[in-house]
Amino acid sequence: MNSSNHVRIVEVGPRDGLQNEKAMLPAAIKIELIDRLSDTGLTTIEATSFVSPKWVPQLADAAEVFRGIRKAPGVVYPVLVPNLQGYERAREVGAGEVAVFTAASEAFNRKNVNASIDESIDRFVPVLERARADGVAVRGYVSTVLGCPYQGEVPVADVVRVARRLHELGCHEVSLGDTIGVGTPAKARAMLRAVAAEVPMAALAVHFHDTYGQALANILACLEEGVRVVDSAVSGTGGCPYAKGATGNVASEDVVYMLHGMGMTTGVDLDRLVETGAWLAGQLGKATASRVTRARTAA
């Protein structure tokens, strides 16, 4: 059991949120979003993604956004890369931390990156080699850890295998993603426990989408299990292009509210985060998915 009271929030809204929003925000607004988030006390803000612009047109302006953001001291701004080409684009603009991604289910991975799980991992090997030489930290994501839109159930053993492989290859942190938000607390706990038997808990993060409204309950179960890194997106933006009806990541405001209410620390100023979430919802022209922001900004 982890007795630490501190949780590091990995803010993924500018990447995971905006990659799936219908509204295409101009680069200047994305830059303003990240700059606002940099003033909330967050220490990790995933800024954008250097994937193929044909696959994710929403983030085609990755280079412009990364160049334009204020790099606040004490804050890291990782970016997603699917292959060496993405890594090179990220390095060109000075990214100091990257994230690679694969899945625990073959069918999802094929739709997401047009490759089998093993093929996608083969593409990371040169990325990890280069990153090690460049002193760039690499995070690894495993998607579909609690269910797949095509395959349905995903065996825990498959999650463990992929997470262990990413860690062995040199990912300093492995984020376990319930991509379509179908997990429930006992399953989330059992999955995390099985992975933590092979990868140190200190190197694990949890990443819940909130499609079925289970994300906070799942996070609580995983905190009880000992995880201390939680991914979330301000205003709960996003969805999944490969999963009908899937909604965004759990809202950062709601996670921070829960953690502070439990006497845990995040270093995040909830009022500023709520302000940013409300502002972002305005930019996207839609209601915020954060219950906390709705409650705090109700007239």
Q: Map residues 208-247 to x or -, x wherever contact with Mg ion holds by CB under 5 A.
A: ----------------------------------------
Find the shortest distance in angstroms from Cβ 269 to ligand HMG. Answer: 25
In the complex with Mg ion, which residue's Cβ is closer, 16 or 173? 16
Q: Look at residue 189 and give the partner it binds from ligand HMG, Mg ion, none, a contact being a CB closer than 5 to 8 Å depending on partner kind.
A: none
Q: Which of 252, 250, 248 is CA-nearest to residue 276?
A: 252
Q: Which stretch binds Mg ion (CB under 5 A): 13-21, 76-84, 146-154, 160-168?
A: 13-21
The footprint of Mg ion on this chain (CB under 5 A) covers a number of residues equal to: 1
In the complex with Mg ion, which residue's Cβ is closer, 209 or 294? 209
DSSP of the chain: -----B-EEEE-IIIIIGGG-SS---HHHHHHHHHHHHTTT-SEE--EE-S-TTT-GGGTTHHHHHHHS---TT-B--EE-SSHHHHHHHHHTT--EEEEEEESSHHHHHHHHSS-HHHHHHHHHHHHHHHHHHT-EEEEEEE-TT-BTTTBS--HHHHHHHHHHHHHHT-SEEEEEETTS---HHHHHHHHHHHHTTS-GGGEEEEEB-TTS-HHHHHHHHHHHT--EEEEBGGG--B-TTSTT-B-BPBHHHHHHHHHHTT-B----HHHHHHHHHHHHHHHTS--S-HHHHHHH--
Task: Give the Cα separation of 216 and 84 in Å (integer).
Answer: 35
Find the shortest distance in angstroms from Cβ 179 to ligand HMG. Answer: 3
Q: Map residues 15-54 to x or -, x wherever contact with Mg ion holds by CB under 5 A.
A: -x--------------------------------------
Q: How many CA atoms lie within 13 A of 29 on its CB side?
A: 15
Examine the residue annotation and report whether 240 is marked as an active-site residue of this protein.
yes
In the complex with ligand HMG, which residue's Cβ is closer, 11 or 275? 11
Catalytic residue among 148, 171, 222, 240: 240
The position carrying tokens 């800024």 is 47
In the complex with ligand HMG, which residue's Cβ is closer, 49 or 237? 49
Q: Which of 223, 280, 201 is CA-nearest to residue 248?
A: 280
Q: Look at residue 83 and give the partner it binds from ligand HMG, Mg ion, none, a contact being a CB closer than 5 to 8 Å depending on partner kind.
A: ligand HMG
Q: What type of residue sits at position 143?
A: S
Q: Look at residue 257 and give the partner it binds from ligand HMG, Mg ion, none, a contact being a CB closer than 5 to 8 Å depending on partner kind.
A: none
In the complex with Mg ion, which residue's Cβ is closer, 16 or 254? 16
Binding site for ligand HMG (CB under 6 A): 16, 19, 49-52, 55-56, 80, 82-83, 85-86, 89, 101, 112-114, 141, 143, 177, 179, 207, 209
In the complex with ligand HMG, which residue's Cβ is closer, 207 or 228? 207
Q: Look at residue 246 and give the partner it binds from Mg ion, ligand HMG, none, a contact being a CB closer than 5 to 8 Å depending on partner kind.
A: none
Find the shortest distance in angstroms from Cβ 83 to ligand HMG. Answer: 5
Interface residues with Mg ion (CB under 5 A) are 16
Where in the sequence numbering do the catalytic residues fall?
A: 240
